[in-house]
Amino acid sequence: MAKYRKLSRTSSQRKALLRNQVTALLEHGKIVTTEAKAKEVRKIAEGLIALAVKEKDNFDTVTVTAKVPRKDKDGKRVKEVVDGKKVTVYDEVEKTIKKDQPSRLHARRQMLKVLYPVTEVPTAAAGKKRGTKKVDMPAKLFDEIAPKYANRNGGYTRIVKIGQRKGDAAMEVLLELV
């Protein structure tokens, strides 16, 4: 018996499909797909969530001083003339950051092997680059998803059958985070 479903695709196509669907599931919370794909996506997603739950509190909080450019009321950098050149003025600011322990850093890198980069586009700026922001999916897993499942031992996803697809009569399911 095979350890995984081939989904009638080459290994690179299959890997890309599963990575894409796992990323979409963790970003949106639910996806609609075929039953066979859902069962494969579920394996990967539950592994990532279990990893996030295990490492969610494994970090140190560190205070650092950072140089931040001073900005005017319009949000533009303030310039100052020094020796005949315009130079940006910087302020030193105290910031508190999370510093990952080695095991959490390893978990983050394991997640990045599977998850695709996600760019969030506001509905007002659809189709434009301006206003978009990159979403840190491992951080979302650690900060939002893992605390939700902290006291749960597995079973982070649910498969609900919807019915057969009209075109090829494949069984469609809703795969969602519980």
Question: What angle (nearest 5°) sits at the alpha carbon of residue 31, between those of residues 29 and 35?
Answer: 130
Cα distance between residue 118 and residue 24, in whole Å: 9
- Using the 3D structure, point to which of 70, 100, 130 is the last residue of a domain: 100
Total domain count, the chain? 2
Of 100, 127, 159, which one is at a domain's C-terminal end?
100
Check whether residue 29 and residue 66 sit in a common domain.
no
Residue 163, domain member (yes or no)? yes
Same domain for 109 and 171, yes or no, is: yes
Joined tokens for residue 164? 């057969």
Instruction: Give the HSE-up count for residue 130: Cα atoms under 13 Å, Cβ half-sphere.
Output: 2
Shared domain for 54 and 74, answered yes or no, is: no
Do residues 122 and 160 share a domain? yes
- Report the C-alpha gap between 17 and 4 in whole angstroms: 14
If asked whether residues 93 and 114 sit together in one domain, one would say no
**CATH number of domain containing 17:** 3.90.1030.10
- For residue 113, give its domain range: 11-58+103-177
Classify residue 78 by its DSSP letter. P
> pLDDT tens digit string along 40-99?
999 999 999 999 999 999 999 999 999 999 998 888 898 988 888 999 999 999 999 999
Are 90 and 138 in a shared domain?
no
122 versus 26: which is more confidently predicted? 26
Q: Both 53 and 66 in a single domain?
A: no
Residue 110 sits in the same domain as residue 171? yes
Whether 86 and 161 map to the same domain: the answer is: no
Q: What is the pLDDT of residues 108-162, one digit of tens each?
A: 999 999 999 999 888 776 777 777 889 999 999 999 999 999 999 999 999 999 9
* pTM of the predicted structure, to 2 decimals: 0.85
Are 152 and 83 within one domain?
no
Structural Rg of the chain based on CA atoms: 22
Find out whether 72 and 79 touch, Cβ atoms under 8 Å: no
DSSP 77: B
Mark whether 112 and 96 lie in a shared domain: no
- For residues 32 and 173, give the distance between their C-alpha atoms in angstroms, rounded to a whole number: 6
The answer to whether residue 6 sits within a structural domain is no
| Beta-carbon-side half-sphere exposure of residue 159 (alpha carbons within 13 Å) | 18
Q: Indicate whether 49 belongs to any domain.
A: yes
